[in-house]
Amino acid sequence: MGLTIAEKIIKEHLRAGEMRKGEEIALKIDQTLTQDATGTMAYLEFETMGIPRVRTELSAAYIDHNTLQSGFMNADDHRFIRSMAKKYGLYFSRPGNGICHQVHLERFGKPGKTLIGSDSHTPTGGGIGMLAMGAGGLDVAVAMGGGAYHITMPKMIKVELTGKLRPFVTAKDVSLELLRRISVKGGVGAIIEWGGEGVKTLSVPERATITNMGTETGATTSIFPSDEVTREFLKAEGREEDWVELLSDDDAVYDQVIEMDLSSLEPLIACPHSPDNVVKVSELKDVKVDQVCIGSCTNSSLYDMLKVAEILKGRVINPDVSLSISPGSKQVLSMLADCGALSDILAAGARVLECACGPCIGMGFSPNSGGVSLRTFNRNFEGRSGTADGQVYLVSPETAAASALTGYITDPTTLGEEIRVRMPEEFKIDDSAIEPPLPEEEAAGVEILRGPNIKPFPEGEPLSGEFKAELILKVGDNITTDHIMPAGSKILPYRSNIPHLSQYCFGVCDETFSERAKAAGRSIILGGSNYGQGSSREHAALVPLYLGVRVVIAKSFARIHRANLINAGILPLTLKTPEDYDLLNRGDTLKITDILGGLDSGEFTLKDVTNGRTLLLEGDFTERQKAILKAGGLLKYVAAEEHERNE
C-alpha cells in the first residue's frame, strides 16, 4: 500500500509505536521553534531538565509577539530568552526580524524534516513539505532535549485541487472555503494533505497561507508536496541544497477526500467571531469599515505585500479607515523598500508597523468601540483584538486593500483590471538579525539573565483515589484558549508570571472566575465540544492548575490543549453521553470515584453529589499519558524517568 506525504515523513521519524490510526506514536523531532510569548515558559521548563545543550538539528528562538515594551517585562523576557539561546545552542531571531513562521519558512525550514513549535501556526512549514506541528511549550522543551514528540497517529484527509485561482481570488479564500466546508472542528485528529493538479499553480507563500490557516480546522497539521515550485522558492532563498522531492504515492490511501475547484472560488470573508463563519465578500458590500489590518503569519509574505502595494498604488485610502501594514519579516520589508512598493503603501495612507504579530494578538492597533475591523489574519475570536466589542472579519490581502480604498467591505474582483506582481528570482538574504548558536566552549560561560517578572510555575499533583470538588464553571462549545487565558498587550507581558496572569483567567466568560476558583481550593470545569481550540499556549492549562482546577470535563477537546492539560497534570475527561452536559450545573459538588481504576479502564464514574445522579465519563489515555497523570504532570514524569535511568 502506498504512503501519503505525511506518512512518509512519519515513517522516517518513528521512534516508537505503529503507524495505525488512533494509536500513539513517538516522533523524532529535527527542528524546534519558540516565540517569546510561549518561549519564556518553555525555556524555564527546559532549564529544569538539566540538559547542557539542545539536541536537535536546529532550534530557533524568535521574538515577535511581545514587542510593545511598555514596562520592563517584555524587554526582560527577551533578554532572558536571548541568554538561554546563547547558553544552550539555539539561533536567536531578534525583535523586528519578523514573525517566527515567516522567518522560519524563509531561512530554516526543510522539506521532509519534522518541526514542532510552541505556537499553533507552526504548520506554516507544511507549505514547503515539512511535517510541522504546534505544541505546548513543555513538549517543545522535551524535544529540544532530544526527547520524542508524542501524537496520536492522525487520519489522512486529502484536498484534491483542480483548476486555477481567478484574478483577485487567493490562497486565503482557499483556506476560508475549507473552513466553510469542514468548520473549526473538521480537521481534529487529521493531517490535511493538499494535492491534485491545482497544487502546481500555487506558489510557496500561497501554500504557506493555506497550511498556516489549516490550524483553524483543528488539524494536527497540513502539508503540501515538495516539488519544483518548492525548489524554486528554496533557490530564491539561496538554499536550493535543502530541497528534496516529496510526493505522495499514487496508491496512497486517504480517509477522506475533499474536492475543490480553484477556478470556481470567489473572495470569501469570515464574520465575527469564528474563522468558520464564512460568507462571500459580495454579500456584505454595504458594511462600513473602520479599520483594516494587513499582515500576520497568514498573509505577510512579499507576494502578499506586493499585491497590496499594487492595489494601493496611486490611490489614497478612505479617510474613515485606519490601515495598518505589518510585513512578515525584515526580508519582506527591506525588499518592499528596495523596489519602491513601500512608498506606494505609505503614499496611500497606511500606518506601517514593525515586522511582528502586532494587532493579530492585540499588541496595539485595537479597533474603536464596536469598530468593524477587516484583517488578513487567521483568528477573529471575541475580544482578541483588544476591543471587547470589536467586530473582526477575516479576509485576503486583496479584499483588505480594496476595502481600505472604498471604506466598505469590497469584493476585489470589482476593482477591474487584474494586478500582476513580479516575484524576484532571488530574495534579499540578510541574516544579520539572526544570532547563530555559540560554540560549546563559549556557551558554557554565558550567564542567564532573569528579570523580576519571572515567577515560579505551578506544579501538578500525583493523581490518587477519588476527587471531590465544586463544578466552578460551565461553558459552551468551541471555547478557545483566548477565552481561558486571554492575550493582548496588557496581559501578554506576564507570560512568565502565572500568579499575575491568573487574575484574567476566563475573564471573557466570567469576571468572577479567578476569585471563585481561588476560594474553592480545588475545582472542576465543564466545557462543550472542541474545548480549548486555538492557540498552543500552555498557560491555558498552567493558570487553571495554579487556580486549583484538577479536572476538565468536556464533550470533546482540541488536540494541543488536551495535551497541555495532561502535561500540566490536569485530568481531561469527556462525557460518555454528550447530553449529560445539560444535567450538570455550576455550583454542583462532583465526585470522581476511583481515578486510578478509571485510568486503567478508560471509564470513570462521576457522582453529582448535589443532585444525587451518577454519570459516566471517558478518558482514553495512552500508557505514557497515564504515567504522566499519575506522576502529576510531564515535568515530574521526566524527572522520575531521569532518576530511574541514573539509579
Residues that bind ligand MIC (CB under 6 A): 37-38, 65, 119-121, 134, 361, 487, 534-537
Helices of type H across 215-284: 228-236
| From ligand SF4, ligand MIC, none, interface partner of 537 (C-beta below 5 to 8 A by class) | ligand MIC
Q: How far is the CB of 273 from ligand SF4 (least distance, A)?
A: 15
User: According to CB under 6 A, which one of 348, 357, 541, 599 is a site residue for ligand SF4?
Assistant: 357
Interface with ligand SF4 (CB under 6 A), residue total: 11
Q: How far is the CB of 540 from ligand SF4 (least distance, A)?
A: 14
Nearest to 224 by CA among 177, 297, 171, 185: 171
Q: Binders of ligand SF4 among 259-318, rule CB under 6 A?
A: 296-297
- Rounded Cα distance, 119 and 211, in Å: 14
Check if the beta carbon of residue 522 is closer than 8 Å to that of residue 540. no
Nearest to 477 by CA among 188, 264, 265: 188
Q: Binders of ligand SF4 among 116-135, rule CB under 6 A?
A: 119, 121
Q: Binders of ligand SF4 among 27-86, rule CB under 6 A?
A: 65
**Sequence-separated (6 or more) residues with CB below 8 Å from residue 232:** 204
- Rounded Cα distance, 460 and 536, in Å: 19
Q: How far is the CB of 618 from ligand SF4 (least distance, A)?
A: 32
How far apart, in Å, are the Cα atoms of 316 and each of 290, 291, 301, 308, 345?
15, 15, 23, 13, 9
Q: How far is the CB of 271 from ligand SF4 (least distance, A)?
A: 18
C-alpha cell at 13: 521519524
Given the complex with ligand MIC, which of 35 and 556 has the nearer CB atom? Answer: 35
DSSP H or E run through 304: helix 302-312
User: According to CB under 6 A, which one of 85, 345, 360, 404 is a site residue for ligand SF4?
Assistant: 360
Q: Binders of ligand SF4 among 483-512, rule CB under 6 A?
A: none
Given the complex with ligand SF4, which of 327 and 544 has the nearer CB atom? Answer: 327
For 635, left (φ over 0), alpha (ψ -120 to 50), or beta? alpha
Q: How far is the CB of 604 from ligand MIC (least distance, A)?
A: 29
For residue 321, what is the DSSP state?
A: -
Q: How far is the CB of 425 from ligand SF4 (least distance, A)?
A: 28
Given the complex with ligand SF4, which of 132 and 526 has the nearer CB atom? Answer: 132
| From ligand MIC, ligand SF4, none, interface partner of 58 (C-beta below 5 to 8 A by class) | none
Q: Give the three-class secondary structure for 151.
A: strand
- Rounded Cα distance, 330 and 327, in Å: 8
| From ligand MIC, ligand SF4, none, interface partner of 536 (C-beta below 5 to 8 A by class) | ligand MIC
First to last CA, the chain: 44
The mark string for 381-420 relative to ligand SF4 (x by CB under 6 A, - otherwise) is ----------------------------------------
Q: How far is the CB of 481 from ligand MIC (least distance, A)?
A: 7
Write out the DSSP string of 422-477: PPPSS-----TTEEPPPPHHHHHTPPP---TT--PPP------S-EEEEEEEE--T
Given the complex with ligand SF4, which of 411 and 538 has the nearer CB atom? Answer: 538
